[in-house]
Amino acid sequence: MRLYLKTLLVITVCLFYWGGPNVCADSSVNWEEGYPALPDEHGFAGGYAGVVSRGDERWLLFAGGANFPAKDPFQEAVPKTYHDVVYKLRLKGTGLSPDGQWELCQETLPEKLAYGASVTLPERGSVLFIGGMRSEGDGSYVSNAVYEVILGESGSLSFSKLADLPVAVSATSACLLEDKVYVFSGVGKEGEVQGAWSLDIASENASDWQWFEIAWPQYESGVDARARGHHVTGVRDGKLYVFGGRAKQVAGDARVHPDDINSIYGTDDFRDAYAFTPGAQGGAWKRIADLPYAISAAPANAVQAGASHLLLMGGVNLELLQSIMGRKDEIGLNELGHGFSHPGFSRDILAYHTITNTWSKQGEIPAEYRSPVTAPVVSYNGDFVILSGEWSPKLRTSGMLHGAIESKKAAFGVVNWIVVVVYLLGMVGIGYWFMRREAASSTDDYFRGGQRVPWWVAGLSIFATLLSSITFMAIPALSYASNWNKWVGQWPILLIVPLVVFAYLPFFRGLNITSAYEYLEARFNLMVRLLASAAFMIFHIGRIAIVLYLPALALSSVTNIPIIVAIVMIGVLCVIYTVMGGIEAVVWTDAIQAVVLLGGALGCFFLVVFNVDGGFGAITETLSRQEKFISLDWGSFDISSKTNSGWMFFFGFFFAMLPSYTSSQDVVQRYVTTSSYKEASRSLWVNILMSMVGSAIFFALGTALYVFYKQAPEKLDPSMMSTDGILPFFIMQNLPVGVAGVIIAGVFAAAQSTVSSSLNSVAAAFVTDFYGRVFKPQSSDHQRLNVARNVVIILGALGIGVAIWVAKSNVKSAFDAFNTFIGFILGPLAAMFALGIFVKRVGGVACLLAGLLGTISVAVLKHFNDAGVVDVWPLLNGMVCFIVTFVSGCVLGLIFKSETKIELTIYGKRGSSAD
């Protein structure tokens, strides 16, 4: 064992100096060629667009718009022409891939309009066209009309007029956020309009829809933001975003001197950007990071990319316009492009990162494409299309820009693979070593390690068992994306461990048990024991598959490690060493893996500290801001899903953590692997330190990652689909070859520590509670040991198979829902153990009925939560279940009276002694 550890340490140190950091390939928009152009030689600016659908049939629409159809559009007398034409393009697949060519529809817009807003309503299969303008005599007409476009059974289109927008606007855009459509500002007949509105579309009957005015954003000083048009809007993570824009459009033949350009367009005021969060009291605006430069008329909607980015494509750049204006002493804006070389509009792709509140440039629109402005954007299932638009003053394009956000994943590399394989084989070697020393020659050895496990190893094992690979990646991702609020979730361990040591441990040790549920039979009856054990086993069958699938998914999202390969490697090798070495191999590998986990987290943390400006001080300064550390309200007792109550966090996590320490076989089994009550107690005290300090390290790492990427937002990958992948992404991007392999091995280690614990503990529960107690009570110890090993193999294969099925069928959400439901069965166990230990007059019947009532109460609560009847934070389900089970057990104990086994409660002698 010592030789193994020394060898692993030497390899790690040597590889740290072997090779440079892994280079994560640049990610950008993948521009797909061959998208059909509109069958119009001139193209249109300011058109409307969206996707309509009926069943499996989907069509991309383009309607309206304005252009200059004359041969020489720069003649003084050429007017802008507005249109009511509608084109449709059949789509295939699930995105925006074309199936044919554009078709001119027989149906037309109710009005000849352009420069309005359009938004797709996927649930209804329809599109809304909102506002806009058209030429009317010597002036222009601004519309407040709203039309819904619906696809009929025969493929025809119908236009239904809905409730008018409260104010007529053009040069605006619209976004769908949950069940509301939002419109922000725009240009009216007399200039820019200061107003923002939402359309509630929750009702199936569109005639019930109404517009409501929402608040207007202000600067931090309380000064109102300036009204604007030609801005960009987008939605991300339940918020509406507004970027840039301009005011005082120049019309007709107006001539502007270069010195006056700031008065008609741009100025630094229009670099401002805002985020709107809907709320019960109308919602709230917050000013966010300014744009890198003033920009307007970019394609109207920001494109969502990955988990946290919004992309702005091109647009009219203030600096560009100023440079053009500076090239001539005085130029008529209508003459730009006529005998004057216009350089084209900006090709920059600007990325806003919602977590770090930063901007970065993420590539360009390729030079072979025209970069359009005043164009609609349609995003659908990961694809987006920029339709037509203006590429130079008075000139339009009929072309379409079709893109998708793609990333070339970082190559894991041969050296990293060698490190991971050596590590995993080392875990198997530990199992083989324990098998050779005949440590697992009996069920007592296989399930309790012959009670030879040192207390510090047991403590590390408990920590590693409860810290899965999901947690290893999720905690840093949590503090990176938000704050340390959920660190409060670790605080209950300060109460739970003393409770276990003084109230529960004496029974687990004193009864000399192998399965935790043997206590329930001794205290109540056989039926309580079997139901509790079955609930535990069913829960962990599902848990094994989840723990195998989720880390493999996260790794495959940022590296070229295939998800199936990751699942099989973790699962198969874990099964091998668990089968060979039993619980002793499990706890020792857990202890090593806990060291690898913490060492990897600390190594990453210090690497980040050395690579940020300001070092450790920059990170502590970030933590000094309440919104990035702990921002809980300790004066609140709000139980809603959006609670910020410190007490709800504490009690929610207390009752979520309690079942693991008091009624879950995988943790309780560690209590009986040590030689005495005193040693078992020490393992739990160690676990307090590991849980509090270890979790703080993971939270600190997340904060450090936040500071790192806030200073270098260009290093982020817009295509990363989950913030849970931020740690492996950083590892692959910044750590030297080989060292990255060690840390990724830590991710595998975290998964293995959880899976191996589940495998052995389920085998222990099945063999002890069912096979040896019910099915074959007369079986020999050798027979039971063989059954245990077979259970590990079968359960491991089942877990691997289910995890692969989930990966192949992409049913993660349904599987999580299933696992949540199974959790309702496991939830009452903590209360049932508490009833047995703390309440004298509760028998088996009362305990079973109480557990049933607890499960029903949580199922009913979840049903009403899902239906919107109540709003209770889901984490409080455990508290509700415990209270209902415990209280009803006390009441039912008075009704269903039974013999009191006081010696199995804390009131008897055994409750105050252990070994």
DSSP 859-901: HHHHHHHHHTS----GGGHHHHHHHHHHHHHHHHHHHS-----
Q: Given this model, what pLDDT does residue 334 score?
A: 47
For 454-484, write each residue's pLDDT tens digit.
888 888 888 887 776 667 778 898 899 989 9
For 612-659, write each residue's pLDDT tens digit.
999 999 999 998 887 889 989 998 999 988 888 999 999 989 998 899
Range picked from 105-109, 138-142, 188-192, 688-692 for highest mean pLDDT: 105-109
Report, as an integer, the average pLDDT of 516-530. 93
Q: Are 583 and 449 in contact (CB under 8 A)?
A: yes
Confidence of residue 744 (pLDDT cuts 50, 70, 90): confident
Cα-only R_g, the chain: 32
Q: Given this model, what pLDDT does residue 108 score?
A: 94
Rounded distance between C-alpha atoms, residue 34 and residue 393, angstroms: 26
Report, as an integer, the average pLDDT of 386-401. 90
3-state DSSP: the chain helix, strand, coil percent, rounded to 5? 50, 20, 30
HSE-CB at 40 with a 13 A cutoff on CA atoms is: 27
Give me the DSSP letters along 431-488: HHHHHHTTTTSSHHHHHHGGG---HHHHHHHHHHHHS-HHHHHHHHHHHHHS-SGGGG
Q: Cβ atoms within 10 A of the Cβ of 396, count?
A: 29
Using alpha carbons, list the distances in angstroms from residue 627 to 218, 479, 632, 690: 21, 10, 9, 26
Domain spanning 2-18+410-912: CATH superfamily: Sodium/glucose cotransporter (1.20.1730.10)
Q: Given this model, what pLDDT does residue 408 score?
A: 66
Report, as an integer, the average pLDDT of 664-689. 89
Report, as an integer, the average pLDDT of 736-747. 78
Q: Given this model, what pLDDT does residue 9 score?
A: 40
Is the pLDDT assigned to residue 221 strictly greater than 80? Answer: no
Q: Given this model, what pLDDT does residue 724 score?
A: 79
Query: For the packed helices 812-826 and 844-867, what is the interaxial angle rounded to 10 degrees?
Result: 150
Q: Given this model, what pLDDT does residue 26 score?
A: 47
Q: Given this model, what pLDDT does residue 44 score?
A: 95
Q: Given this model, what pLDDT does residue 76 score?
A: 65
Structure tokens at 87: 């084109």
Query: For the packed helices 739-765 and 414-436, what is the interaxial angle rounded to 10 degrees?
Result: 40
Confidence of residue 97 (pLDDT cuts 50, 70, 90): very high
Is the pLDDT assigned to residue 325 strictly greater than 70? Answer: no
Report, as an integer, the average pLDDT of 748-752. 74
Q: Given this model, what pLDDT does residue 323 score?
A: 60
- Listed in order, the ranges of the chain carrying CATH 2.120.10.80 are 27-407
Q: Given this model, what pLDDT does residue 912 score?
A: 53
Range picked from 491-500, 579-588, 673-682, 897-906 for highest mean pLDDT: 491-500
Is the pLDDT assigned to residue 670 strictly greater than 90? Answer: no
Greater confidence, 779 or 241? Answer: 241
Is the pLDDT assigned to residue 751 strictly greater than 90? Answer: no
Give residue for tokens 């270069």: 258
Q: Given this model, what pLDDT does residue 465 score?
A: 79
Q: Given this model, what pLDDT does residue 280 score?
A: 66
Region of poorest pLDDT, from 273-277, 440-444, 518-522: 440-444
Range picked from 162-171, 309-318, 361-370 for highest mean pLDDT: 162-171
Using alpha carbons, list the distances in angstroms from residue 565 to 88, 337, 482, 736, 850: 43, 57, 32, 23, 44
Report, as an integer, the average pLDDT of 184-193. 89
Is the pLDDT assigned to residue 88 strictly greater than 90? Answer: yes
Rounded distance between C-alpha atoms, residue 194 and residue 224, angstroms: 9
Q: Given this model, what pLDDT does residue 11 score?
A: 38
Rounded distance between C-alpha atoms, residue 295 and residue 470, angstroms: 41
Q: Given this model, what pLDDT does residue 49 score?
A: 97
Report, as an integer, the average pLDDT of 163-173. 95
Q: Is 674 helix (H, G, I), strand (E, B) or coil?
A: coil
Q: Given this model, what pLDDT does residue 601 score?
A: 85
For 54-82, write each residue's pLDDT tens digit.
988 999 999 999 998 876 776 666 788 99
Q: Given this model, what pLDDT does residue 324 score?
A: 56
Rounded distance between C-alpha atoms, residue 27 and residue 11, angstroms: 32
Q: Given this model, what pLDDT does residue 547 score?
A: 81
Report, as an integer, the average pLDDT of 435-457. 75
Q: What is the mean pLDDT of the chain?
A: 83
Report, as an integer, the average pLDDT of 531-545. 86
Rounded distance between C-alpha atoms, residue 805 and residue 799, angstroms: 10
Rounded distance between C-alpha atoms, residue 47 and residue 134, angstroms: 12
Beta-strand runs (E) in 73-152: 81-82, 86-92, 97-98, 103-104, 117-121, 126-136, 139-151
Q: Given this model, what pLDDT does residue 337 score?
A: 47
Q: Given this model, what pLDDT does residue 904 score?
A: 87
Task: Name which of 473, 627, 492, 630 is nearest 557 in CA terms.
Answer: 473
Q: State the amino acid at position 779 in one-letter form.
A: S
Buried b (16+ CB within 10 A) or exposed e, 865-901: beeeeeebbebbbbbbbbebbbebbbebbeeeeeebe
Give me the DSSP letters along 554-602: HHHHHBS--HHHHHHHHHHHHHHHHHHHHHHHHHHHHHHHHHHHHHHHH
**pTM for this one?**
0.86
Q: Given this model, what pLDDT does residue 22 score?
A: 45
- Listed in order, the ranges of the chain carrying CATH 1.20.1730.10 are 2-18+410-912
Polymer length in residues for the chain: 915
Report, at the CATH architecture level, how domain 27-407 is classified. 6 Propeller (2.120)
Q: Given this model, what pLDDT does residue 813 score?
A: 52
Q: Given this model, what pLDDT does residue 469 score?
A: 65
Confidence of residue 816 (pLDDT cuts 50, 70, 90): low
Residue 552, H or E segment: helix 526-558
Report, as an integer, the average pLDDT of 867-881. 86
Rounded distance between C-alpha atoms, residue 743 and residue 435, angstroms: 28
Q: Is 240 left (phi over 0), alpha (psi -120 to 50) or beta?
A: beta
